[in-house]
Structure 1
Amino acid sequence: MSSHDQIAALHFELPPVPAPIGTFRNVLQVGNILYVSGQGPLDRNGVLYKGKVGRDVSVEAAYEHARLTGLNILSVLSAHLGDLARVKQFVKLQGFVNATDDFADHPRVINGCSDLLVEVFGGRGIHARTSIGVASLPNNITVEIEAIVEIFSEGKSHG
């Protein structure tokens, strides 16, 4: 089953590629490595999920926001590559949680994105990861996640 078929089987749809909110690219390719800039929980209707996890937003809701952020990462990758089958493996995620000072469940939140990647890509979705809490994020979003991805050379892919 292709990655796009797997996304559909999970009852997800890739959102439109979000526009960068500053002077940067959504993705930069260096050889066979892609660096995906931090993405946030923006849904296909343009709703951006905001708030402080541990005060305004529950761990369960923030987990879903991280899943949505993962879909935005996949949208960026799909637009850049044309075919998600070119993803060889996810190398690393760095996840930021807009959290209260005493919040300690950052890994549970960022698992939303990690779990999605494994559901879509199987073993190719397993990655190294950092998940940290921060005092604030742009536009007061709940989570921001960036990714490093290795791809197959042009013309090669994983079916």
Structure 2
Amino acid sequence: MDRYQRLHARGLVLPAAPRPVASYRSHVREGGLIYLSGQGPLTADGRLCTGKVGRDVSLDEAYAHARLAGMNLLAVLHEVLGDLARVKRIVKLLGMVNAAPDFNDHPLVINGCSDLFLDVFGPEDGSHARSAVGMGSLPGNITVEIEAIVAAHAPDA
């Protein structure tokens, strides 16, 4: 089963790649690595998921928001590479959680993205290094922001 079939089997459809909202690029490619700028939980209809995790937003909701951020990262990867089959492996994620001061389950929130990548790319290519940290705030009061470093196969591979 290819990576798009895995998405489809889970009832997931890649959204359009979100456009940068300030003075930066959605990605930078250096050699075989692609550095993806942080993506938030932007829905297909353009709505941002907002609030403080642990106060306004439950752990389960935040997990879903991290999964949504992961879908937006996949959309950028698809746009950059033309085919998710060109992803060699997910190297590293940095997950930031807009958390209430006493919230401490940041890793469980970011699992929403990690689990998605494991589902789509499999245990070998989808397994990655990761950091999950709490923030006092995030742009637009979004619940999560996740950035990634991805290794890609050469175009002729």
Deviations 1:72-123 (A, max 9, x none): 0000000000000000000000000000111100000000000000000002
Task: Give the TM-score, by structure 2 length.
Answer: 0.98
Distance in structure 1 (CA, Å) of the matches to 2:46 and 2:75: 14
Aligned-residue sequence identity (percent) comes to: 54
Task: Give the TM-score, by structure 1 length.
Answer: 0.97
Distance in structure 1 (CA, Å) of the matches to 2:91 and 2:55: 32
Distance in structure 1 (CA, Å) of the matches to 2:13 and 2:48: 17
Partner of residue 60, structure 2: 60
List structure 1 segments (4+ residues) > 3 angstroms apart after TM superposition. none
Partner of residue 79, structure 1: 79
Cα distance, 1:2 vs structure 2? 1.3
Partner of residue 145, structure 2: 144
Distance in structure 2 (CA, Å) of the matches to 1:42 and 1:155: 33
Partner of residue 44, structure 1: 44
Does residue 91 (structure 1) correspond to residue 91 (structure 2)? The answer is: yes
Partner of residue 112, structure 2: 112
Partner of residue 34, structure 2: 34
Cα distance, 1:16 vs structure 2? 1.1
Aligned pair count reads 156
Ranges in structure 1 where 5+ consecutive residues have no aligned partner: none
Distance in structure 2 (CA, Å) of the matches to 1:18 and 1:112: 19
